Amino acid sequence: MSLLLSDRVWVMLSEVAKRGIYPTHSAKLGIYRLPVDIVGQSEVNGIMSELKTQGYALDTYADRIFVTFKWVEKGFDIYTNTEQSAELNVTVEIVIGEVLDIIYQIKPLETFGDFYWIRNYRQKADHNAKIIIDNIIRNTKIGQKLLTYYQKIQKLSQTDSIKKLESITPLANTQKSLKEEKKSLVNPSVSTAAGKPSSENLSEKQAVVVPSPIPASNAAKLSENTTIQLTGTGTDYQAVEGPIDTGFKSKRQSAGKFQGIQVWGPYDAPGQLGIWGTDVCVDFDICISDGACIDACPVNVYEWLDTPGHPASERKPFMIREKDCIFCLACENVCPPQAIKIFVK
């Protein structure tokens, strides 16, 4: 989103998102009214898990997620004739709800100490904040929801949706690339993948972090943990009535994996999605996305996964943290259509 933060005026991101100063957030800068809904602790936990892998310091309070990037400035103090270093940081806030705000405020340099020898601090902090925003939007569930919005509301094709997401987040993965380049200088054997164009990085990341709408031409770029797509030609299907077939493992074949989670066929996206999971199993063709399982789970095993085009419901409870299950059976017992089966170890 850094392209939209290049100046100090209001710029439209979409019909409901603006850049500038919004009264609710005082004088903080950022992106306002992004057409993405993040509701429920499971979705918050999912976003935080995705950002944690990028090396950010994270915190949450009420309806906000705080994403902090730290860096070290080095310089020469002409008064003491010594080399100096200072640890600085900038924090971006994600304000969740039915629409999304992503905001930040640059602290005065004096907040960190008497580092008068540092040059261009505000420009560097502002640039780092924009990198955080681009990573938040492209490399988390927010990006997935934006792709869905572009296709369903703005009627863009899958390819155009991905290109638009790329174009508004040009600084995504910048900090990661810089770290990889430094590693390659120390150890030449380290892969120089960081030198790839931004569009290639997005395509590789797409299969894992932004799993919705991927063009068919990108099928070869799916990872070992993700071998199926959520889009396809399977549109002639009806919703299936419960309960789930508890003996499905002996009757069905594996259709592949999605982010490491086993998927049992038959599978013909988007209308027929099969049964997902190994120990925590949900029949996606039965699920009506009422959310009872997500609310009942005490360890946040599930998070919402958008499945546009499915006849039963256009989002499903994805057991992304299946390994955390404590086998309390709460989700299985509260599911109205009986779409869940927990295999107790």
Q: Which of 69-73, 174-178, 236-240 has the highest mean pLDDT?
A: 69-73
Give residue 42's pLDDT: 82
Across residues 290-300, what is the average pLDDT?
90
Position 197 scores a pLDDT of: 40
pLDDT of residue 1: 42
Widest pairwise Cα distance in the chain = 78
pLDDT of residue 257: 93
Q: How far is CA 179 from CA 1, 47, 54, 63, in A?
A: 21, 22, 11, 31
Q: Apex CA 228: angle with CA 225 and CA 233, to 5°? A: 170
- Is there a cis peptide before residue 266, judged by omega within 30 degrees of 0? yes
Question: Residue 115 is encoded by which pair of tokens?
Answer: 């580092």
Over residues 48-71, the mean pLDDT reads 90
- pLDDT of res. 114: 86
Of 172, 168, 25, which is closest to residue 94 (Cα–Cα)?
25
Burial 305-330 (b: 16+ CB within 10 A, else e): bbbebbebeebbbbbbbbeebeeeeb
* 236-260: average pLDDT: 92
Pairing of strands 18-19, 11-12: antiparallel
The alpha helices in the chain, defined as continuous H runs, are 41-52, 121-138, 141-152, 158-168, 174-186, 198-206, 292-296, 330-334
Q: How confident is the model at residue 145 (pLDDT cuts 50, 70, 90)?
A: confident
Sign, CA torsion 25/31/36/42? negative
pLDDT digits (tens, 9 = 90+) for 273-286: 999 999 999 999 99
Confidence at 176, pLDDT banded by 50, 70, 90:
low
Band (154; pLDDT cuts 50, 70, 90): confident
| pLDDT of 186 above 70 | no
Is the model's pLDDT at 27 over the cut of 80? no
Q: Which two tokens stand for residue 92?
A: 């971006």
Question: Residue 218's pLDDT is what?
Answer: 35
SS3 284: coil
Question: What pLDDT, in 10s, does the model give residues 79-138?
Answer: 888 888 999 999 999 998 888 888 888 888 888 988 888 888 888 988 899 899 999 998
Peptide bond into 270 cis (omega under 30): yes
Going by the DSSP 8-state scheme, the letter that residue 231 receives in this structure is -
High-pLDDT (> 70) share of the chain, %: 78
Model pTM above 0.95: no
| In the predicted structure, residue 185 carries a pLDDT above the cut 60 | no
Q: In the chain, what are the domain boundaries? A: 2-176, 248-342
pLDDT at 26: 52
Q: Looking at residue 330, what is its pLDDT?
A: 92
Average pLDDT (169-180) is: 67
- pLDDT at position 181, please? 45
pLDDT value, residue 319: 95
Tokens of 146: 């934006």
The upper half-sphere exposure of residue 146, i.e. CA atoms within 13 Å in the direction of its Cβ, equals 31
Could you tell me what percent of the chain has a pLDDT over 90? 35
Q: How confident is the model at residue 222 (pLDDT cuts 50, 70, 90)?
A: low
d(CA 190, CA 182): 10
CATH placement of domain 248-342: 3.30.70.20
Q: What is the mean pLDDT of the chain?
A: 79
258: confidence class by pLDDT, cuts 50, 70, 90: very high
